Chains A and B, each alone.
Chain A
Amino acid sequence: MAQVSLRKIVKEYEGGVQAVKGIDLEIADHEFVVLVGPSGCGKSTTLRMIAGLEEISGGEIDIGGAVVNDVPPRDRDIAMVFQNYALYPHMSVRENMAFGLMLRKFPKAEIDRRVNEAARILDIGVLLDRKPKALSGGQRQRVAMGRAIVRDPKVFLFDEPLSNLDAKLRVQMRTEIKKVHQTVRTTTIYVTHDQVEAMTLADRVVVMNHGVIEQVGPPQELYHHPRTRFVAGFIGSPAMNFIPAKVEARGAGLVLLLPQGTELAVPEHRVARYQPYAGKSVTFGIRPEHLTDTQNVNKPHVAFLTLTPEVIEPMGMETLAHIKLEGAEVCARLDPLVEAAPGVPLPLAADMNNMHLIDDATGLVI
Chain B
Amino acid sequence: MSATARPSEMVPGLGRRVGSLRSERRWALWTAYISLIIAAIVMLAPPLYMLLTSIKTSAEIANLEGNPWLVLAPTWENYAAIIGNPMFRGFFYNSIILTVCVVVITMVISVLAAFALARMKFFGSQVLATGVFLTYLVPDTLLFIPLYQIVGGLGLLNSIWGLVLVYPTLTVPFCTWIMIGYFASIPKELDEAALIDGANWMQMLTKIFIPVALPGIIAATIFAFTVSWAAFVYPTAFITRPDEMPLTIGVVSQLIRGDTFAWGQLMAGALIAALPPVVVYAFLMDYYIAGLTAGATKG
Residues of A within 8 A of B (CB): 51-53, 72-74, 78-80, 82-84, 86-90, 99-100, 103-104, 147, 151
Instruction: Indicate the member of B189, B190, B199, B214 with the most A CB atoms within 10 Å.
Output: B189
Q: With A and B bound together, what is the CA distance between A89 and B299 in angstroms?
A: 13
- A48 to chain B: closest residue by CB: B192
* Contact with B196, one of A74, A88, A89, A90 (Cβ below 8 angstroms): A74
- Chain A nearest Cβ from B204, distance in angstroms: 10
* Contact with B195, one of A53, A88, A151 (Cβ below 8 angstroms): A53
Decide yes or no whether B84 CB sits under 8 A from chain A. Answer: no
Residues of chain B within 8 A of A99, CB atoms compared? 194, 197, 207
Q: With A and B bound together, what is the CA distance between A72 and B200 in angstroms?
A: 10
* B192 and A88 form a contact (CB under 8 A): no
* Contact with B192, one of A82, A147, A151 (Cβ below 8 angstroms): A82
Q: With A and B bound together, what is the CA distance between A100 and B198 in angstroms?
A: 6
- Chain B nearest Cβ from A83, distance in angstroms: 8
- Can you list 8 A-B pairs with a CB-CB distance of less than 8 A? A53-B195, A73-B192, A74-B195, A74-B200, A80-B192, A87-B193, A90-B214, A147-B197
Instruction: Given A84-B187, A84-B189, A86-B190, decide whether A103 and B199 contact each other with a Cβ distance below 8 A.
Output: yes
Decide yes or no whether B129 CB sits under 8 A from chain A. Answer: no
Residues of B within 8 A of A (CB): 187, 189-190, 192-200, 203, 207-208, 211-212, 214
* A51 and B212 form a contact (CB under 8 A): no
Residues of chain A within 8 A of B214, CB atoms compared? 90
Q: With A and B bound together, what is the CA distance between A346 and B185 in angstroms?
A: 57
Residues of chain A within 8 A of B207, CB atoms compared? 99
Q: With A and B bound together, what is the CA distance between A103 and B198 in angstroms?
A: 6
Q: With A and B bound together, what is the CA distance between A108 and B182 in angstroms?
A: 33
Q: With A and B bound together, what is the CA distance between A2 and B187 in angstroms?
A: 30
Residues of chain B within 8 A of A51, CB atoms compared? 192, 196
Residues of chain A within 8 A of B194, CB atoms compared? 88, 99
Q: With A and B bound together, what is the CA distance between A100 and B207 in angstroms?
A: 12
* B208 and A104 form a contact (CB under 8 A): no
Residues of chain A within 8 A of B193, CB atoms compared? 80, 82, 86-88, 147
* A74 and B199 form a contact (CB under 8 A): yes
Residues of chain B within 8 A of A74, CB atoms compared? 195-200
Q: With A and B bound together, what is the CA distance between A87 and B189 in angstroms?
A: 9
Judged by DSSP, the binding face of A is loop
Residues of chain A within 8 A of B197, CB atoms compared? 74, 99-100, 103, 147, 151
* A72 and B187 form a contact (CB under 8 A): no
* B195 and A72 form a contact (CB under 8 A): yes
* A104 and B196 form a contact (CB under 8 A): no
Q: With A and B bound together, what is the CA distance between A88 and B214 in angstroms?
A: 13
- B213 to chain A: closest residue by CB: A90
- B186 to chain A: closest residue by CB: A89
Q: With A and B bound together, what is the CA distance between A72 and B195 in angstroms?
A: 8
Residues of chain A within 8 A of B211, CB atoms compared? 90
Other 11 A-B pairs with CB < 8 A, given A52-B195, A74-B198, A147-B193: A51-B196, A52-B196, A53-B192, A73-B192, A73-B196, A78-B196, A79-B196, A80-B192, A99-B207, A100-B197, A103-B197
* A89 and B212 form a contact (CB under 8 A): yes
Q: With A and B bound together, what is the CA distance between A90 and B195 in angstroms?
A: 17
Instruction: Given A74-B197, A90-B212, decide whether A103 and B203 contact each other with a Cβ distance below 8 A.
Output: yes
Q: With A and B bound together, what is the CA distance between A104 and B200 in angstroms?
A: 11
- Chain B nearest Cβ from A102, distance in angstroms: 9
Q: With A and B bound together, what is the CA distance between A21 and B212 in angstroms?
A: 38
Q: With A and B bound together, what is the CA distance between A238 and B211 in angstroms?
A: 47
Q: With A and B bound together, what is the CA distance between A87 and B192 in angstroms?
A: 11
* B195 and A73 form a contact (CB under 8 A): yes
Q: With A and B bound together, what is the CA distance between A84 and B193 in angstroms?
A: 11
- B188 to chain A: closest residue by CB: A86
Residues of chain A within 8 A of B212, CB atoms compared? 88-90
Residues of chain A within 8 A of B189, CB atoms compared? 82-84, 86
- Chain A nearest Cβ from B151, distance in angstroms: 41
Q: With A and B bound together, what is the CA distance between A117 and B193 in angstroms?
A: 21
* A86 and B192 form a contact (CB under 8 A): yes
- Chain B nearest Cβ from A101, distance in angstroms: 9
- Chain B nearest Cβ from A177, distance in angstroms: 18
- A82 to chain B: closest residue by CB: B189
Residues of chain A within 8 A of B198, CB atoms compared? 74, 100, 103-104
Instruction: Indicate the member of B190, B196, B208 with the most A CB atoms within 10 Å.
Output: B196
- A91 to chain B: closest residue by CB: B211
Residues of chain B within 8 A of A104, CB atoms compared? 198
- Chain A nearest Cβ from B282, distance in angstroms: 25
Residues of chain A within 8 A of B195, CB atoms compared? 52-53, 72-74
Q: With A and B bound together, what is the CA distance between A162 and B203 in angstroms?
A: 29
- A81 to chain B: closest residue by CB: B193
- Chain B nearest Cβ from A96, distance in angstroms: 9
* B187 and A88 form a contact (CB under 8 A): no
- Chain A nearest Cβ from B197, distance in angstroms: 4
- Chain A nearest Cβ from B211, distance in angstroms: 4
- A51 to chain B: closest residue by CB: B196
* B187 and A86 form a contact (CB under 8 A): yes
Q: With A and B bound together, what is the CA distance between A86 and B208 in angstroms?
A: 11
- Chain B nearest Cβ from A49, distance in angstroms: 13
Q: With A and B bound together, what is the CA distance between A51 and B199 in angstroms?
A: 14
- Chain A nearest Cβ from B208, distance in angstroms: 6
Q: With A and B bound together, what is the CA distance between A72 and B199 in angstroms?
A: 11
Q: With A and B bound together, what is the CA distance between A52 and B194 in angstroms?
A: 13
- Chain A nearest Cβ from B62, distance in angstroms: 58
Residues of chain B within 8 A of A53, CB atoms compared? 192, 195-196
Residues of chain B within 8 A of A78, CB atoms compared? 196
- Chain B nearest Cβ from A365, distance in angstroms: 38
- Chain B nearest Cβ from A85, distance in angstroms: 8
Q: With A and B bound together, what is the CA distance between A80 and B194 in angstroms?
A: 10
Q: With A and B bound together, what is the CA distance between A80 and B196 in angstroms?
A: 7
- B193 to chain A: closest residue by CB: A86
Residues of chain B within 8 A of A88, CB atoms compared? 190, 193-194, 208, 212
Q: With A and B bound together, what is the CA distance between A96 and B192 in angstroms?
A: 14
Residues of chain B within 8 A of A72, CB atoms compared? 195
Q: With A and B bound together, what is the CA distance between A317 and B199 in angstroms?
A: 51
